[in-house]
A and B are shown apart, each in its own frame.
Chain A
Amino acid sequence: MKAALITFPGSNRERDMRMALTKVNNGKPPVDVWHGDSGLPEGIDLIVLPGGFSYGDYLRCGAMAAHSPIMREVKKRAEAGVRVLAVCNGFQIACEAGLLPGVLISNAGLKFICKDVNLRVETTASAFTKKYRKGQTIRVPVAHHDGNYTADADTVKRLEDNDQIAFRYADPLGTVSPETNLNGSVGNIAGIYNAKKTVLGLMPHPEDATDPVCGGLDGMGLFESIAESLS
């Protein structure tokens, strides 16, 4: 696996992400790429957009970063089939950049939510989740103010029909209901894929559930899936 980790001004989860990626890649860290760079190294097979508050969430969260110089190259590589993992602010950036459909708006309760949540794995037919079981519940943290996934009804139907929903907010037993809807997201959606399932965007932080002394290990399955798929 040869990963590139993109850092924007205001990113703040790139260090956590680097640790998780290094752990599953035989100690080899990802290549660090700055938002102002215009190119990515050859042979990159995974691009990661980490969490944070890029450009201070100016205009709309992710809107400025989506048009930063490096994103032109990210879009080009993504179109060529390079895998993209977009977490939290990365998910917002991916939506604004058109890599994923829909948009993330303010949480329905208007509060910043920082806590562990239960996610139901909706599909394992992807490079990102094949080490999980379908319907499995994993526990990972969230930390966001704008995580309320919204899209028009046609888009949501297309996501449902094409098995493009990656994770939904659930209870510990995997039941998805209005009560387990963390932030108002349509259909309790916590993460989605693009049509080819080469781009995954999610609001929760699997990279912060990759160490037993800090948040548990439920996020490991995602990173091990990626490492195995790209080895």
Chain B
Amino acid sequence: MKARVHVSLKNGVLDPQGKAIGQALHSLGFSDVAEVRQGKLIELELSGALAKKPKAEIEAAVKDMAQKLLANTVIENYSVELVG
């Protein structure tokens, strides 16, 4: 069982890296790119008792991890995806 945690900056939070990527894409001729926001993807390979639990419980556990460490909810949103 694998969990993917997608972390993205909240709307309104300045994303200078996204801006720089957008400018680079424009300079490469991709002029139809309006805005770029950069986030991160954290993949967790789950094992032990947790991996055998119902999906809802696994999701709750991974959300707890996201709240406590993987995302800073002052500036970031996160979503959890279970794979396999």
Query: Which A residues are closer than 8 A to B by beta carbons?
Result: 59-60, 63, 67, 96, 102-103, 105-110, 148, 150-152, 184
Contact, CB under 8 Å: B74 / A148: no
Contact, CB under 8 Å: B16 / A151: no
Set of chain A residues within 8 Å of B74, measured between Cβ atoms: 102-103, 150-152
The answer for the CA separation of A60 and B69 in the assembled complex, in Å, is 9
The answer for the CA separation of A106 and B14 in the assembled complex, in Å, is 9
Number of interface residues of B (CB under 8 A): 10
Chain A at the B interface: mostly helix, strand, loop or mixed?
A: loop
10 A-B Cβ contacts within 8 A?
A63-B69, A63-B72, A102-B74, A105-B14, A109-B16, A110-B17, A148-B14, A150-B74, A151-B74, A184-B14
Closest chain-B Cβ to A155's Cβ sits at a distance in Å of: 8
Contact, CB under 8 Å: B72 / A103: yes
Query: Which B residues are closer than 8 A to A by beta carbons?
Result: 13-14, 16-17, 20, 69-70, 72, 74-75
The answer for the CA separation of A151 and B73 in the assembled complex, in Å, is 11
The answer for the CA separation of A96 and B75 in the assembled complex, in Å, is 12
Contact, CB under 8 Å: B69 / A108: no
Set of chain B residues within 8 Å of A150, measured between Cβ atoms: 13-14, 74-75
Closest chain-B Cβ to A159's Cβ sits at a distance in Å of: 13
The answer for the CA separation of A109 and B19 in the assembled complex, in Å, is 10
The answer for the CA separation of A184 and B12 in the assembled complex, in Å, is 13
Set of chain A residues within 8 Å of B75, measured between Cβ atoms: 103, 105, 150
